Amino acid sequence: MERKVTKIGNSLGVTLPAEILKHLHVKQGDEVIFYLEEGKVSFKKRPAVNIEGFEDIDQEFLEGMKKLFDNYDDTLRNLVKR
């Protein structure tokens, strides 16, 4: 499948065919994770977080942890590979 890079607001973007969205079970508003690899980019749907057992943990702390993992996801994955 091929797509053209188009202007979306002040950014550039690529639309995703319905077939791809269906295959990944992705709908509007879902988050995806991008992986930069040698000469290519891949992505997948961000798995749902199981919050069972976390009800008593401060919401601000959980949001901070999410930011940390969002910002350092690639770094943490590279450390796992070592």
Q: What is the pLDDT of residue 50?
A: 74
Which whole number is the average pLDDT over 22-41? 92
Q: Is the pTM of this model over 0.85?
A: no
- Indicate the range of 3-7, 37-41, 52-56, 63-67 predicted with least confidence: 52-56
Nearest to 29 by CA among 11, 10, 48: 48
**Count of domains forming the chain:** 2
> Could you tell me if 43 and 68 lie in one domain?
no
Asked whether the beta carbons of 32 and 44 are under 8 A apart, the reply is: yes
> Could you tell me if 14 and 25 lie in one domain?
yes
**Domain extent at residue 61:** 49-82
The DSSP H or E segment spanning 12 is strand 11-13
In sequence order, which ranges of 1-82 are alpha helices (DSSP H)? 18-24, 59-81
53 CB-near residues (< 8 Å, 6+ apart): none
